[in-house]
Amino acid sequence: MIHSIKAFVDKMSPKDGQNGFHSYTTNEYKLHFYESPSGFKFILTTDIRVGNTSDILRKLYSQVYVKYVVRNPLCELNQTIKSSLFESKLESFICDLPFYEDISSENA
């Protein structure tokens, strides 16, 4: 689905070579999309009231993924990420987002 939407937006975009697809919204959620310069894709789903997350996804790529996966000699690229350090840093990053709500507190 993401590939189809991105391809459609790229064809319709007046600017060549620039990714025009950043998000879409349904009645239930908002899907945010970021593609790194190396082609790695990040997708984040949020509440529909959350604004643009492009900067957040760029930071996720540079400060978490690159630092704890790309630069980690134990992580093999193009394989499932099996790093508890990456998982803990990712969780911390997500929990620190201004719009993050702990699901466990909603269910209490």
For the chain, the structural domain boundaries read 2-100
pLDDT per residue rounded down to tens, the chain (108 residues) = 766 776 766 666 666 555 677 888 999 999 999 988 888 889 899 999 999 999 999 999 999 999 999 999 888 878 888 899 999 999 999 999 988 875 545 544
* C-alpha closest to that of 48 among 108, 99, 103: 99
Q: What's the CATH architecture for 2-100?
A: 2-Layer Sandwich (3.30)
Burial tier of 67 (Cβ tally within 10 Å: 0-12, 13-18, 19+): middle
Sheet holding 23-25, edge to edge: 23-25, 30-35, 41-46
Q: Is 0.85 surpassed by the pTM of this model?
A: no
Question: Residue 93: in which H helix or E strand, if any?
Answer: helix 84-95
